[in-house]
Structure 1
Amino acid sequence: MKSLFTVYVIFLLVSFSVKEGGSNGEKRTCPKSSIQVIQGPSGSTHYGIPQYNVMIMNGCESSCSGVHLSCGQFVSANFINPKIFNRIVINDCLVNNGAPIKFGQILSFTYSNTFKYPITVTSATCH
């Protein structure tokens, strides 16, 4: 978890120093690099199944909504609040129930599975 925290701190330092163009109120597609997904082993287990911590961070200068992630056939042995992270269909997971994620906001959850899922950003809209 310590290395995950270090990556998070580096992300915040880089994010707050980057500015994006665009008019106020204008909607545009966020660069995929603006929404960061960082995950790593938590070091604990859920009934013997490894757990992984996930942090989803918005580095866009504005809030972003409709954040979708490529998540394969994601499933977890432990409950994940579907308002934070929800697999809609195979390989499409919705973050924050589609609601805006503010600049600098971090959403996090822990899942349990025998392996770490590759999770990447597929789309988001900045306001």
Structure 2
Amino acid sequence: MHAGTGVVICPKNDILVAQSQGPPAKSGIPTYRVQIINRSPTGKSIWNIHLSCGWFSSAKLIDPNTFKRLKYDDCLVNGGKPLRAGSVISFTYYTTFEYPLSVSSVEC
């Protein structure tokens, strides 16, 4: 008899979220560059990557297939699709302050 749902829980720290402040936009709004990296030591693809993101918003639209706030404190990376080991998703957002972003859940 097989127990479980078939979903494998991966360590959240297999995903690294790095942020840095970029040059201000022409309008003077600060910019922040985000890189989301799959650093799985076993080479696994990771999907359904959700980040804690508060009320994340950006003055310039971010492709929702790259990064999208679903509700308060829940943002989805890469449209939920797999991010291969060693791969990076990156985007820049425009706002007056840096949002704290941290991994809340992943699947592999």
TM-score w.r.t. the length of structure 2 is 0.89
Q: Distance in 2 between matches of 1:77 and 1:28?
A: 36
Q: CA deviation at 1:44?
A: 2.7
Instruction: Describe the shift of the 1:50–1:103 C-alpha distance in structure 2 as closer, same or farther (beyond 3 A).
Output: same
Could you give the per-residue CA deviations for residues 78-115 of structure 1, whole angstroms, max 9, x where no partner exists? 11000000000010000000000000000000001100
- After the TM superposition, which parts of structure 1 deviate over 6 Å for at least 4 consecutive aligned residues? none
Report Cα offsets for 1:40-64 as digits up to 9, x if no partner: 1012325211000000000122001
Higher relative contact order (CA 8 A, sep 6+): 2
In the other structure, the counterpart of 1:47 is: 27
- Say if 1:46 and 1:78, in contact at 8 Å, map to a contact too: no
**Any unmatched runs of 5+ in structure 1?**
1-25
Q: Which has the higher helix share?
A: 1
Q: Percent identity?
A: 45
**Unmatched 5+ residue regions in structure 2?**
1-5
* One-letter amino acid of the counterpart of residue 64, structure 1: I
**1:28 corresponds to which residue?**
8
1:42-121 map, 5 Å: 42-60=22-40, 61-121=43-103
User: Which whole-Å CA distance do the structure 1 matches of 2:64 and 2:103 have between them?
Assistant: 17
Cα RMSD for the two superposed structures? 1.2
Distance 2:25 2:9 in 1: 37
